[in-house]
Amino acid sequence: MIEDFQDALQAQGDIRPGRVSPYRFFTAEEWARFRADTPLTLTADEVREMRSLNDPTELEEVRRIYLSLSRLLSTHVESSQMLFRQRARFLNFDEQDNKTPFIIGVAGPVAVGKSTTARLLKQLLARWPSSPKVDLVTSDGFLYPNAVLERDGLMQRKGFPESFDTGAILNFLSAIKAGMPHVKAPLYSHLSYDVLPDGFVTVDRPDILIFEGINVLQARNLPAGGRMVPMVSDFFDFSIYIDAEVSLIHQWYIERFRQLRATAFQNPASYFHRFTQISEAEAIAHAEELWDKINFRNLEENILPTRPRADLILRKGRDHLVETVALRKL
């Protein structure tokens, strides 16, 4: 299994057989040993509250995967803070007036468990002995409103890079990195399937920000002449990609749709309530069409190509639990 994953990454990165991979690969059991004496600060009930629909993550998965990841991130945050202090002394400025948050990007396709990972990390990191302030923002709020997408003929490409207000994302992350107080991020409603017109969350100088979304590692076309055009990932200090076989992601997407049809879609205010008014077979046929025309295309064209840009890849197996971890070499 680990060899297949390594081969896939090498092929994607055009790393020919016999050449060195930029990643180190670990089985889940090997990875679990790196947790050392990192304490488990979550309860089983808290984990269940944080996991997304159709995600079976339990406390044992936190022990196997996320405690080691929390320890790794701790070393990166400490190193970043040390470098910041050294540069402050070099430039002879008061470091107390220039707080630079550590930003973690979490990427991956739909239905793979990004939200669960982001929420678990938020709680684990906030419970370090130093009690850092940790905020979580998702890129969904930076989607253009449905009215704009419909006007521009992009509703069938919702979730593709062009459906996001990339300028607003860059402005937000730039303000966070600059240590500005009270930075607003727009909110998204999965019930209405749209950006909330007056909905915002305020991020006020966190120690750590987790920024989660399907396309957050997306590159962009560069202009001629060397003009500065930042990418979203330029603001990340560490990036994580949640991965799985495409066939499994497809299966989880349909399973999640089926469960949502029996729960959240039952609300008359839900954008997808219409799928509860037809037979299950018809609804699943629509879900398959959404997968084929939107989600699979976005995965193949935009999301999966960003996988090799991640610092760490969590590869899930059939049971939706992490089987392999790939960590980029320094």
232-245 pLDDT, tens digit each: 999 999 999 999 99
Q: Return phi, psi of residue 117, to 5°.
A: -60, -45
Q: Which domain holds residue 315?
A: 2-328
Count Cβ atoms below 10 Å from residue 136 Cβ, excluding itself: 22
Q: Which residues contact 232 (CB under 8 A, 6 or more apart)?
A: 105, 166, 169, 170, 173, 211, 216, 217, 218
User: What mean pLDDT do residues 279-289 have?
Assistant: 97
User: What mean pLDDT do residues 116-121 have?
Assistant: 97
Q: Which is it for the CA torsion 9, 15, 17, 18, positive or negative?
A: negative
The per-residue pLDDT for 15 is 44
Helix (H, G, I), strand (E, B) or coil at 272: coil
The per-residue pLDDT for 33 is 97
The per-residue pLDDT for 9 is 66
The per-residue pLDDT for 12 is 57
What does the mean pLDDT of the chain come to? 92
Q: Check pLDDT > 60 for residue 14.
A: no
Task: Please tell me the total count of domains within the chain.
Answer: 1
The per-residue pLDDT for 16 is 47
Helix or strand (DSSP H, E) at 96 = none
The per-residue pLDDT for 88 is 84
Count Cβ atoms below 10 Å from residue 25 Cβ, excluding itself: 18
Task: Report which of 58, 45, 13, 9 is spatially closest to residue 314, judged by C-alpha positions.
Answer: 9
Percent of the chain with pLDDT strictly greater than 70: 92
C-alpha span between 302 and 197 (Å, rounded): 27
- Specify which residues 209 forms β-bridges with: 103, 135
The per-residue pLDDT for 56 is 92
Lowest-pLDDT choice from 83-97, 252-266, 311-325:
83-97
- Specify which residues 245 forms β-bridges with: none
Task: Report which of 322, 324, 327, 326 is spatially closest to residue 61, judged by C-alpha positions.
Answer: 322
Looking up residue 217, the CATH number of its domain turns out to be 3.40.50.300
C-alpha span between 50 and 86 (Å, rounded): 37
pLDDT in tens, 129-165: 999 999 999 999 999 999 999 999 999 999 999 999 9
Count Cβ atoms below 10 Å from residue 287 Cβ, excluding itself: 21
Helix or strand (DSSP H, E) at 196 = strand 194-203
Q: Check pLDDT > 70 for residue 13.
A: no
The per-residue pLDDT for 100 is 86
The per-residue pLDDT for 1 is 61
The per-residue pLDDT for 5 is 63
The per-residue pLDDT for 230 is 85
pLDDT band at 4 (very low <50, low <70, confident <90, very high): low
C-alpha span between 91 and 167 (Å, rounded): 30
